[in-house]
Amino acid sequence: MATRLPSDLLRRSAAEGSRLLALSQLDDIASAEHRLAGSKDAEALHDFRVGLRRLRSNLRAYRSHLKGSVSKKARRRLKDLTTGTNAGRDIEVQLAWLHRQAERVGPGETESLAWLIGRLEGRKSESVDPRTAEITSDFSKVASKLRRRLGTFRVEVRTGREPKELSFAQATGRLIRSHVADLAKSLKAVTAADDEAPAHAARIRAKRLRYLLEPHSRRIRGVKPLVERLRQLQDLLGNLHDLHVMIGEIDSAVEALSRNTPDRSVLGAPGLAALKQLADTEAEHSFAAFRDAWADGRADRFLSRTNQLGSVLQKPRAEDTSVSPSPERVEPVASNGNRLATRPFPVG
């Protein structure tokens, strides 16, 4: 049965709130794993992969509050499980893209397209599919140990005046502000379609910020649009990343053909070159879409609004630990020096 997050999650201590969140995410992954049993439910596999990434991201974010519950070995095994699903996901995306190119390549280029599709299909059936089944089995073992550890934590009570324990709201607020700063820096580094590493870094940081915000979409009015905006950013940068990976796969295929007979290499070269050109063109279009939506100050309002949310959550509250908005108005400033309009974040 799924762990239902309590309505007062933000008012709980950081130690308790982070554990409740992790337990809920473990249950979500287990649900996807159950749907996978005995079937090839592509949606379930997608949910399983996303669940793993979401769990790892939040275990990393709340690491200091999870001491004693998540061992280095558990973190390493979760990382291995997540990495193990990446190859399958990449191949699925690449095959879908290649099939869409069937009507775009010329008559003399279809053999190269068919050869590359066969190459990827063979890799998927020989290694990726069996590995996916192994991964879901491994997850059950890791999850069992994590549940036991996360389900219990020790609180030390001392006499005298002690610093007030950090709430989950405050811990989350600090993390949001830190993640916003990281994302702002990463977005500025993406300046061209072939900026593969900076674009990938920005996509990862957008994903981590989204995973921090998602659990509070129904608790805090105004968070849902922020999550949706981050999802749009992920889609833009994700598409660009997929094309970078596709281009790398085509380059690898060219190399593989060159090691075969000269006739085979000459036969395959025009078709692969045409596919690479198609991928390059799409990458340029993807970057243009990203630039139009997020570059040159277009991200300022979103970043300021999200940073304001972090400030509201981070501010210490009265004894009732309410996380209603501060009466102080936050006035973020855009990169051009203009003030941005803001609204408070009522927390429900």
Q: 297 phi and psi, to 5 degrees?
A: 85, -5
- Sequence letter at residue 135: I
Per-residue pLDDT of the chain (348 residues; tens, 9 = 90+): 456 789 999 999 999 999 999 999 999 999 888 887 655 666 787 888 899 999 999 999 999 999 889 999 999 999 988 887 777 788 889 999 999 999 898 887 888 898 899 999 988 877 666 666 677 778 888 999 999 999 876 666 555 565 678 999 999 999 999 999 999 999 999 999 999 999 999 999 999 999 999 999 988 999 999 999 999 999 999 999 999 999 999 999 888 877 765 555 545 678 899 999 999 999 999 999 999 999 988 999 999 999 999 999 998 864 433 443 333 233 333 444 443 444 445 554
Domains of the chain, residue spans: 9-85+127-149, 168-314
Q: Outline where DSSP puts E strands in the chain.
A: none
Exposure string of 297-316, with b = 16+ CB inside 10 Å and e = fewer, is: eebbebbbbbbbbbbbbbee
Entry pTM: 0.84
pLDDT of residue 160: 58
Q: Tokens in use for 344?
A: 């408070």
271: tokens are: 């078709």
Q: Given this model, what pLDDT does residue 39 score?
A: 59
| Cα–Cα separations (whole angstroms), residue 36 to 2, 52, 57, 107 | 17, 14, 23, 40
User: Residue 220 forms beta bridges with which residues?
Assistant: 347
Alpha helices of 105-167 — where are they, by DSSP H? Answer: 110-123, 129-150
Exposed, middle or buried by CB within 10 Å (0-12, 13-18, 19+), for 263? exposed
- Euclidean distance between CA atoms 17 and 9, whole angstroms: 6
Give the residues across from 13 on adjacent strands: 167
